[in-house]
Structure 1
Amino acid sequence: MRAGSDRRAMDGDESGGRAPVVIVRPTTNVTSGVAVTQKLVRAAVAFGDLIRGTFGPNGLDKMLYKSNGETAVTNDGARIVSDLMVKHPAAKTFVSMAETQENACGDGVTGCLIFAAELMREGGRLLERSLHPLTLVEGYREAADITLATAEARSQDATEADAARWIDVALTAMTGTSAEAGGVDLASLVVDAAMLVQRTAGTDPLSYERIRMAKRGSGDLGQSRLISGLILDQRLALDRQARLLNDVKVAVLTRPLTLQKGVRDTEIEVNDVDQLESFMAAEDALLDAHATSVINSGARLIVCAKEVEPRVLHRLVDAGCVVLADVGRDGADDLADVTGATLCEHLDDLDAGALGHLDRFSVETLEGEDGRRERLMFEHANSKLACIDVAGSAGTATEEVIRGLFDALRSVIGGMDSGRLLLGGGSLHVAAASAVREAAEASSGRRRLAMEAYARALEAVPGALIENAGGNRLDVLMDLRAAHRAGHADEGVTPAGINGTITQAWANAETLEHAVVVSTEAVCGLLRIDQVISARGD
């Protein structure tokens, strides 16, 4: 149906001499039928083609030049998608899908987008051949169920004690990113950090948020290290404070160490110097009482989320304390997790039982482009937080390394939480495609066409790995199909772009399963659209 006839249908019935009822503006453009689907398909395929070249160990980077003049070089799918300024409805759906995958799993965004784009391409071809959209959606959903069942059957259990397997998971997630240059050393740091917070978390759920990344801004990547504790980029207020404390008690305050401010504005009239001196002496006495309460608690490291009055600061430093002011509530919460201290809102609550403990507190001084900067190191063997100190330059290169490490961390933490892993290298997708084809052969009706299209879309993921490695997509996919039919379930695409046995590429099973679910649902939602009404006229 043409756009003009659609608009007239919406305006009203012109037969029988009745005047049309206008319900939309004349500039409104209405597109229906196959034309709608093809517009959505073209946008989705363009999105997939844009990101396809970044996929896998041989993926290349994209240079993003932003409207504000900033540039970034990355091959991280989530980063590319988040920085794109898209306006097409289908592209916006893909952006939302990528955000869902990133938020849920922290990895697998690129593969998810490639698979979804191929589902749209295959669906568009079938709709051109007059396959009903609902039949297509039913076939896709049935094929998705078969894919998930295949993933469940192929997944392998993994325990926290299998460190070598978790290192493989981290390396797989880091492959193709800037973090890959760190190799096994960086992957080991990620696994050690995950195991550290798991040991100290107790009954709390294991969370990637308990592991922080710090950018040192000097050295090379091989000098990166793991800290059982926390690193803060903050300078001490007074240079004469101690730079190193061992076996120290810590107080964490969420209230300011200043004079209490009244709710109302107050004016005090002073008639002579003695009254002024008495007023100032009373202030000093109140501040001195604050300092005395803190000193008497036995803490030598004082962490305050808010402001510390200079007179209190000097009094505490004179007593041999180290004071950190204005760390914010989040910083106070983090340091309470590191030290085991109780957050104190009132000085009356500050006693020996509220104090935490640090094995070591130190101040690291570094020379950078902007001059000298200090980093505060809080180390404790039983800390609930861990920090990976990433060495390297202070520029965007290190930021991309941290992004790759974060993906690896999410994969490892997710795998430890689920206890299930799957082989990578496109092995699952080839096996699932074979299973879907077998089910399609046993199915009658047109839904079979949709299931076969789903199987072809699954093979787009190993196909992208082959193409990016410079291999022959058709030949390698045929070899993989034959290998899986012969019972070689561990066959996949190697980094060389050929088929081979996959032994070290492992991924969190829930990451791959979630990508299948979110891709299928997003595509089914788009394929059900039969009309686009644009008020802009485009």
Structure 2
Amino acid sequence: MYGNSNQPIIVLKEGTQRSKDKEAQFSNIDAAKAVADSVRSTLGPKGMDKMMVNSIGDVVITNDGVTILKELDVQHPAAKMVVEVAKTQDTECGDGTTTSVVLAGELLKQSEDLINANVHPTVITNGYNMAAAEAVKILNEIAVDAKNDKMLKTVSDTSLTGKDVGDDSDLSHLSDIIVKAAKFVADEDGRVDTKNIRITKKVGGVIADTYLVQGVVIDKELVHSRMPKISKDAKIAVFNCGLEVKKTEIDAQIQITDPSRMNDFLAEEEAGMKRMVDHIKETGATVVFTSKAIDELVQHYLTKAGIMGYRRLKESDIESIAKATGATICGEVNELTEKDLGTAGCVEEKRVGEDGMAFITGCKNPKAVTIFIRGGTEHVIEEVERAINDAVRTVGITLEDGKVVAGAGAPEIELGIRLAKFAASVGGREQLAIEKFAKAMEVIPWTLAENAGLDQIDVIIKMKSAHENNKDGKYFGIDLDSGEPVNMLDKNVIEPLRVKTQAVNSATEVANMILRIDDVIAARRAPPAPPQGGAPGGMPPGMM
């Protein structure tokens, strides 16, 4: 910076890097496009997988957009904003993460021409906001109702397609499980809290061995080998306290001067533990779960009373057991009453591979269920878990909203056509931005065709023609096997409306945020800390 006397005025700290105007904008846009390009090849049922190896050698193989971006160690600030888009999309919808990132990257790519033509970023962002609002209106217009189980299963099938979840029979089997699980935990208003759908996995068997447990599966073994292995018509006590002698709140010491009093002290401690178990037995409990420890003596008395016991459960496990069985979580053993007990048709310890697991089944009206995943390798079941997580969320939001749109690029082509017409009605410089927004929508069908090995230009031309010349053209997407436009409602390829609206809104927001940055000031990084220890050669400081 220079003053009136042409003398430099030092404002920033030495070593600070600064880029302004177009240089800053294009640098940020390039970073965002790089993130979008990194996941672009995974989009759609023909998308490829990525293998990521971290610094300690752990391997992740997936085509799930948000998982890939979480694993990448992204440093550029603008790139991190795009990663946040994927995380938001995953939180809100569970699916469409790759779509939102690719769309954000394309919106920024389309804006480059406008910036080079000296269209102000504020004009571009205004146009993008107008286009996004109109796009959401159009999506609501072309959406169809989805209330029956067949539609829900189709939504799940579409979400699972392209993930590494086996063949068509495995996909159909998993979709049946997912729809049942979502309907089990749905409340009276149709809202689905997917946290109540637990996913437990064990290596072994094949994907087709995955099944739904109407209750909870806990990856814990009985605390004592001689306890019963099964309890029919179980009465379940749930604690978040330890079943042991309580320690004092403050440090305390007991001094025993008479050796004979030592036996009295131990006998009283033992009697206290026996009373604890007697109280549990009096309530009628046949199974005990606790998030804390169970003393060895208490284990002994529980075994003698024929009561199953499990300890050191996670808080999430405790809450799920309470929801599934109707039990009340107790903070004190003495507070337990018969009304606090939960019920289950059966609590059984089963061997799964080399480990014992507790299966709590036959719950009357479970508000927590478990999908128990099996698969041949650790990588397979991890990818199946990611796929099921996505599908559970998509089925959940479909149950809540009751609206779906056709898949396979159909809504994006319809948006592109309608937004181009909308742009002409707006006028002004914003019209240019809306036209670019409409053009950006084509990136989704373009990428689907690219990943399927089809000619992208031919596919886009055929799809536009089908949309403009057919009564039900708005439902026509790309058949990735033949490359021809097909009615996706007839082909059972549908997606939740919320996935598309969220993708459009979040992609627009991040594109606008990046476009509005015209100055990047980066402080010089601190030098690495010197190694710990004395002066070189081990001499004390100050000596040669």
> More deviation in 229-238 or 173-182?
173-182
Instruction: Work out whether residues 161 and 171 of structure 2, in 8 Å CA contact, stay in contact via their aligned partners in 1.
Output: no
Instruction: Work out whether residues 174 and 180 of structure 1, in 8 Å CA contact, stay in contact via their aligned partners in 2.
Output: no
Residue from 180, 183, 189 that aligns with 1:195: 183
User: Which secondary structure does the structure 1 equivalent of 2:458 belong to?
Assistant: helix
Quote the Cα distance in structure 2 between the aligned partners of 1:202 and 1:352.
Answer: 28
Which residue identity is paired with 2:356?
Answer: E
Deviations 1:79-131 (A, max 9, x none): 00001111112211111111111111111000011111110100011111111
Shift of 1:393: 2.9
Match of 1:469 in 2: 452
Quote the Cα distance in structure 2 between the aligned partners of 1:41 and 1:303.
Answer: 54
Shift of 1:306: 1.4
Quote the Cα distance in structure 2 between the aligned partners of 1:204 and 1:357.
Answer: 25
Instruction: Work out whether residues 243 and 333 of structure 2, in 8 Å CA contact, stay in contact via their aligned partners in 1.
Output: no
Shift of 1:205: 4.2
TM-score (normalizing by structure 2): 0.92
> More deviation in 492-501 or 376-385?
492-501
Instruction: Work out whether residues 466 and 498 of structure 1, in 8 Å CA contact, stay in contact via their aligned partners in 2.
Output: no
The alpha-carbon distance between structure 1 residues 92 and 328, as it changes in their structure 2 partners (threshold 3 A), is closer
Deviations 1:343-388 (A, max 9, x none): 1222332121111111011111133xxxx21111011132111111
Match of 1:146 in 2: 134
Which residue identity is paired with 1:531?
Answer: D
User: Which secondary structure does the structure 1 equivalent of 2:5 belong to?
Assistant: helix
Quote the Cα distance in structure 2 between the aligned partners of 1:375 and 1:90.
Answer: 46
Shift of 1:180: 5.3
Match of 1:457 in 2: 440
Match of 2:358 in 1: 376
The alpha-carbon distance between structure 1 residues 191 and 520, as it changes in their structure 2 partners (threshold 3 A), is same
Which residue identity is paired with 2:371?
Answer: I
Quote the Cα distance in structure 1 between the aligned partners of 2:18 and 2:333.
Answer: 68
Match of 1:5 in 2: none
Deviations 1:185-218 (A, max 9, x none): 11111011111222xx457942111101111321
User: Which secondary structure does the structure 1 equivalent of 2:44 belong to?
Assistant: coil
Shift of 1:462: 0.8
Which residue identity is paired with 1:282?
Answer: E
Instruction: Work out whether residues 179 and 405 of structure 1, in 8 Å CA contact, stay in contact via their aligned partners in 2.
Output: no
Structure 1: 4+ residue segments shifted above 3 A: 201-205
Instruction: Work out whether residues 414 and 467 of structure 2, in 8 Å CA contact, stay in contact via their aligned partners in 1.
Output: yes
Gaps of at least 5 residues in structure 1 are 1-7
Instruction: Work out whether residues 190 and 399 of structure 2, in 8 Å CA contact, stay in contact via their aligned partners in 1.
Output: no
Residue from 418, 428, 433 that aligns with 2:401: 418
> More deviation in 513-522 or 446-455?
446-455
Deviations 1:395-438 (A, max 9, x none): 12110111001100000001111111111111111111111100
Residue from 456, 466, 474 that aligns with 1:489: 474
Residue from 510, 528, 531 that aligns with 1:522: 510
> More deviation in 464-473 or 174-183?
174-183
The alpha-carbon distance between structure 1 residues 328 and 401, as it changes in their structure 2 partners (threshold 3 A), is closer
Match of 2:271 in 1: 285
Match of 1:398 in 2: 381
Match of 2:392 in 1: 409
Residue from 185, 195, 199 that aligns with 2:173: 185
Which residue identity is paired with 1:21?
Answer: I
> More deviation in 77-86 or 390-399?
390-399
TM-score (normalizing by structure 1): 0.93
Quote the Cα distance in structure 1 between the aligned partners of 2:476 and 2:53.
Answer: 39
> More deviation in 388-397 or 454-463?
388-397
Which residue identity is paired with 1:149?
Answer: K
CA RMSD of aligned residues (A): 1.6
Which residue identity is paired with 1:516?
Answer: V
Match of 2:51 in 1: 63
Match of 1:334 in 2: 320
Shift of 1:295: 0.9
Quote the Cα distance in structure 2 between the aligned partners of 1:278 and 1:469.
Answer: 80
User: Which secondary structure does the structure 2 equivalent of 1:60 belong to?
Assistant: coil
User: Which secondary structure does the structure 1 equivalent of 2:474 belong to?
Assistant: coil
* Identity between Structure 1 and Structure 2 (%): 28
Residue from 258, 267, 279 that aligns with 1:272: 258
Deviations 1:115-152 (A, max 9, x none): 11110100011111111111111111111111111101
Residue from 72, 77, 80 that aligns with 1:84: 72
> More deviation in 150-159 or 36-45?
36-45
User: Which secondary structure does the structure 2 equivalent of 1:391 belong to?
Assistant: strand
Which residue identity is paired with 2:355?
Answer: R
What pairs up with 1:68-147 in 2 under 5 angstroms? 68-147=56-135
User: Which secondary structure does the structure 1 equivalent of 2:203 belong to?
Assistant: coil
Which residue identity is paired with 1:253?
Answer: F
Which residue identity is paired with 1:422?
Answer: V
Quote the Cα distance in structure 1 between the aligned partners of 2:211 and 2:293.
Answer: 32
Instruction: Work out whether residues 74 and 400 of structure 1, in 8 Å CA contact, stay in contact via their aligned partners in 2.
Output: yes
Match of 1:250 in 2: 236
Which residue identity is paired with 1:84?
Answer: L
Match of 2:411 in 1: 428
Quote the Cα distance in structure 2 between the aligned partners of 1:432 and 1:405.
Answer: 29
Aligned length: 517
Quote the Cα distance in structure 1 between the aligned partners of 2:493 and 2:206.
Answer: 26
